[in-house]
Amino acid sequence: MPRHNEKTGLNLPVLVMGRDPFITDRIIPILKQSGMEVVTKIDASGHYNVAITQLPSSSEAIALANKGTALIAVNLEGCKTPEAPFEAELCPELSTEEILRRVNELLYRRLNARRPPRIAAQMLVMLKGPGRAIQTTTVDISRGGMFVRSLNPFPPDTWVKVRLLEDGEAEELTGKVVYTIGPDGDILVKYGFEDKPISAHPGMAISFDDGQEKQILRWLSHARGKAAEGHIL
């Protein structure tokens, strides 16, 4: 199984602006460890998929938004509903996992507008693969697949069956492991699908097999209910 802990290969870096310790000592190291390319100064081109900037917003941030850059606000007073032109907010009380999830979600949305929206919900599931079964929880789910936690995941290209343990009427889904993330000392490394950023969750990404739309909709409905109740990561 090939190792991977290098840069993601994304065609544009993430711009991070601000000098508060929350930015310099926490946000930037988190993004770099995940495999993202991070820059802290605007270059001559001024083209970025995502820019993270400390509130109050600067004229530079507004100019970037006018060029099509997605903006994430750093609010040191606590996360609130982001106001235009910001599309997301980061604040000190967020966990490492949630910081990465918010940045990744916006980054993926900009890189691939057709990507199905993901629902961040922790659901209890059972995965069955060659020779063993794993009981674990989901990190998120979409029409196309899900990410589940595991310190001992099935390898990429493994076909698995997944059962939702919280809803007896939800039918089993089948899918294929497309990549896995696991610890290697103090860092996380990725196996397979190397053009995606590394998240903070050890586990595996599963792509659903075709022809399961009805079953997937049932799962998504359950996930939305969990998210609405506050059972999110």
pTM here?
Answer: 0.52
Per-residue pLDDT band for 182 (boundaries 50, 70, 90) equals confident
Contacts of 53 (CB under 8 A, 6+ apart): 16, 17, 18, 60, 61, 71, 72, 73, 74
Distance of CA 188 to the CA centre of its chain: 14
- Each residue of 86-104: pLDDT tens digit? 999 999 999 999 999 999 8
Mapping DSSP to helix (H, G, I), strand (E, B) and coil, where does residue 85 land?
coil
Q: What percent of the chain has pLDDT over 90?
A: 48
- Each residue of 34-43: pLDDT tens digit? 888 899 988 7
Contact by Cβ (8 Å): 202, 149: yes
Contact by Cβ (8 Å): 206, 147: yes
Q: How many other CB atoms are found less than 10 A from the CB of residue 185?
A: 6
- Each residue of 58-77: pLDDT tens digit? 888 878 887 778 899 999 99
Q: Distance between CA 95 and CA 100 in Å, rounded?
A: 9
Q: Distance between CA 213 and CA 45 in Å, rounded?
A: 43
Q: What percent helix, strand, coil does the chain show, rounded to 5? A: 25, 30, 45
Structural domains of the chain, ranges and CATH numbers in brackets: 14-111 (3.40.50.2300), 119-228 (2.40.10.220)
pLDDT at 111 (0 to 100):
66
Q: Between residues 125 and 49, which one has the greater pLDDT? A: 125
pLDDT at 71 (0 to 100):
92
pLDDT at 6 (0 to 100):
34
Contact by Cβ (8 Å): 200, 97: yes
Distance of CA 226 to the CA centre of its chain: 18
120: closest CA among 48, 11, 229, 227? 227
Q: Distance between CA 71 and CA 96 in Å, rounded?
A: 19
